[in-house]
C-alpha cells in the first residue's frame, strides 16, 4: 500500500524538513485530495497538535469526510483518539503517549484499545540516531524501535515507522532498518522518512512494508501516476 501524506500546520498543507523547518506549502486540502484520488487511503498528520500548539480539527474533519484516512498528531489522550474517530478517521496514529520511560505505556494503550478497538490503533515509532523520539520529535528516549515492537504489538494493528534522520531530505531512506523491523513483527509496517525514488517504494513493497510519502510527491520527484500504476500492478 502507498499512503500519500497530508501534513497540516496553521490551516495549510505543508511539508517540513526534519519535523522543524517548513520547506513548502502545498495546494488546498481539497486539491490534494483530488490529486490523491487514485489512492485508497490518505495519511493525515496535524503538526500543530503534535507540537502542542492548537489543532486543525476542522480541516481534519473535512478531509476525513471525503477520504479514508489514518490520522495522527497530538493523540495523547483517549478522548483525542475518540474525537478523531468521530471526525471520520478510520485509524488513529499514536506516538508520544504510547511510551513510558521503560517501554510501552500499557495503562494508556489498554484504555485506548478499550475505547476505539485495537484494529484502529497505529503506533508511531519515530526514530532518530537510533532512538525513539517523541513530542513532535523534540525529545529523545532511551528506547529503540526494535526493542519495543513486541511489547506494543498487543495494543495496535500496526506501526508507522519514520526514519527521522532522513525525513524531508530527499536523500533516500534506510531500507535495512525497515527490513529489520519487518523481521521483528508480523503486524503491518508503514515506512516513512526519506523515501525518494520508485526503487525505494518497490524495495519496501517487496518486503511487505507500506510506504507513506510526503516530500517526494510534493516536489514532483515521485509521480502520482507512476505510484498509482505500482499499486494497480500489485492487485
Query: pLDDT at residue 170 above 80?
Result: no
- Mean pLDDT throughout 213-220? 92
* Catalytic (active site) residue 48: no
Residue 186 confidence (pLDDT) above 80: yes
Backbone angles phi, psi at 232, to 5 degrees: -60, -40
Q: Which of 7, 46, 48, 200 is catalytic?
A: 7
- Top-level class of domain 2-234: alpha beta
Q: What is the pLDDT of residue 164?
A: 87
**Which pLDDT band, with edges at 50, 70 and 90, does 140 fall under?**
confident
pLDDT-derived band at 234, boundaries 50, 70, 90: confident
- Least confident span in 13-27, 107-121, 143-157: 13-27
Average pLDDT over residues 54-59: 92
**Helix (H) or strand (E) run with residue 7 in it:** strand 2-9
The residue with greater pLDDT, 225 or 140, is: 225
**Confidence band (pLDDT; 50, 70, 90) for 168?**
low
User: Average pLDDT of 44-73?
Assistant: 93
142 among known catalytic residues = no
Phi and psi based region of residue 144 (left: phi greater than 0; alpha: psi -120 to 50; beta: remaining)? beta
Catalytic residue among 46, 48, 126, 200: 126
List, in sequence order, the alpha helices (H) in the chain.
29-35, 47-50, 57-64, 78-87, 106-116, 145-152, 175-184, 198-206, 215-218, 224-234
**What pLDDT is stored for residue 169 in this prediction?**
62
Q: How many CB atoms lie within 10 A of CB 2?
A: 25
Quick one: average pLDDT of 163-179? 83
Question: For residue 213, what pLDDT is reported?
Answer: 96
Residue where the block lists cell 496514529: 93
**CA trace torsion 140, 45, 82, 111 (10° rounding):** -20
Mean pLDDT of 157-178: 86
Share of the chain above pLDDT 90, in %: 76
Report pTM.
Answer: 0.93
Contact 160, 5 (CB under 8 A): no
Instruction: Tell me the pLDDT of the chain averaged across its residues.
Output: 92
User: pLDDT by residue (tens digit) across 97-129?
Assistant: 999 988 999 999 999 999 999 999 999 999 998
Amino acid at each position: 500500500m502507498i499512503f500519500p501524506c497530508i501534513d497540516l500546520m496553521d490551516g495549510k498543507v505543508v511539508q517540513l524538513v526534519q519535523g522543524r523547518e517548513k520547506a513548502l506549502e502545498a495546494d488546498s486540502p481539497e486539491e490534494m485530495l483530488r490529486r490523491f484520488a487514485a489512492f485508497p487511503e490518505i495519511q493525515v498528520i496535524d503538526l500543530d497538535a503534535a507540537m502542542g500548539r492548537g489543532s486543525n480539527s476542522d480541516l481534519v474533519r473535512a478531509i476525513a469526510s471525503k477520504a479514508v484516512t489514518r490520522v495522527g498528531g497530538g493523540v495523547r489522550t483517549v478522548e483525542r483518539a475518540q474525537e478523531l474517530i468521530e471526525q471520520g478517521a478510520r485509524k488513529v496514529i499514536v506516538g508520544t503517549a504510547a511510551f513510558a520511560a521503560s517501554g510501552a505505556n500499557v495503562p494508556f494503550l489498554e484504555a485506548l484499545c478499550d475505547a476505539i478497538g485495537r484494529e484502529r490503533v497505529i503506533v508511531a515509532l519515530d526514530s532518530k540516531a537510533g532512538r525513539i523520539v517523541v513530542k513532535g520529535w523534540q525529545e529523545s528516549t532511551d528506547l529503540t524501535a526494535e526493542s519495543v515492537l513486541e511489547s506494543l504489538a498487543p495494543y495496535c494493528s500496526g506501526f508507522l515507522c519514520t526514519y527521522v534522520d532522513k525525513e524531508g531530505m530527499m536523500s533516500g531512506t534506510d531500507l535495512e532498518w525497515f527490513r529489520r523491523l519487518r523481521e521483528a513483527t508480523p503486524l503491518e509496517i508503514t515506512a516513512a522518512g526519506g523515501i525518494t525514488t520508485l526503487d525505494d517504494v518497490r524495495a519496501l513493497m517487496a518486503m511487505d512494508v507500506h510506504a507513506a510519502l510526503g516530500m517526494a510527491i510534493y516536489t514532483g520527484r515521485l509521480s502520482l501516476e507512476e505510484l498509482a500504476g505500482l499499486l494497480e500492478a500489485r492487485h
